[in-house]
Amino acid sequence: MSLQPDSAAAVPPSQAEPQEFSPEERQLLLTAAKEAIAANIDRREIDLTAPTPHLAERRGAFTTLHIQNELRGCVGYVFPTHSLYRTVAETAIAAAFHDTRFAPLQPDELTALEIQISVLSPLQPIDAEDVEVGRHGLVVTFGSRRGLLLPQVPVEHRWDRETFLAQTCLKAGLPPDAWQRGATLEAFTAEIFGTSNFTW
């Protein structure tokens, strides 16, 4: 699964997981997302070489964009295909200009743009009763159909666990009870951070 559009919330869930990324690393990733979007608008190239070994590790990640707390784009790699630094830059461009639910981002929208990054843990099989709202993101697979929702989504919508499971099934184009009828469930956690304080 790659460059996967997804719905996401403006407010991240509380995270019980220890923080993996330092404030400096978070800022580097947020700046990479910002610069990738700006460079795309200006039609110029940027260097996607990771500035630290940690950010050079292959990781799945989503970049989510909001304007005035409204979703403006969200695209990500579920599986680790590139360095985290490159993944953030590429998914930022995709969220801004290639999320088919929205028109491409316009230059006059930049000053209001908020960027949120979700760095994913590896997927792990999970039983439905072990899914924790606010901690887990969820992938539901049945045959060739697959749906994903980030951990932020049920928190924003105030869903309980069964609603979260049902909505992830619907995201896959499956009946809402597919999680009870043989669909495969996988969970992940995410370290989520963002900013709305950029000067463009």
Identify the structural domains of the chain with CATH numbers, from first to last: 4-121+190-195 (3.30.700.20), 124-188 (3.30.1490.150)
Q: Residue 177, Cβ neighbours under 10 Å: how many?
A: 12
pLDDT on residue 11:
39
Q: How far is CA 164 from CA 14, 137, 151, 160, 193, in A?
A: 17, 10, 10, 6, 22
Q: What is the reported pTM?
A: 0.81
Q: Does residue 148 register a pLDDT over 80?
A: yes
pLDDT value at position 17?
60
Percentage, residues of the chain above pLDDT 70: 89
Which band of pLDDT confidence, cut at 50, 70 and 90, is reported for residue 8?
Answer: very low
Q: Is residue 196 within 8 Å of 33, Cβ to Cβ?
A: no
**Do residues 33 and 115 lie in contact, with contact meaning Cβ atoms separated by under 8 Å?**
yes
> What phi, psi does 77 have (nearest 5°)?
-100, 125
CB atoms within 10 A of CB 156: 17
Q: Are 36 and 46 in contact (CB under 8 A)?
A: yes
Once rounded to an integer, what is the mean pLDDT over residues 151-159?
94
Q: Are strands 70-77 and 61-67 parallel, antiparallel or unpaired?
A: antiparallel
**pLDDT digits over 89-122, tens only?**
999 999 999 999 999 999 999 999 999 999 999 9
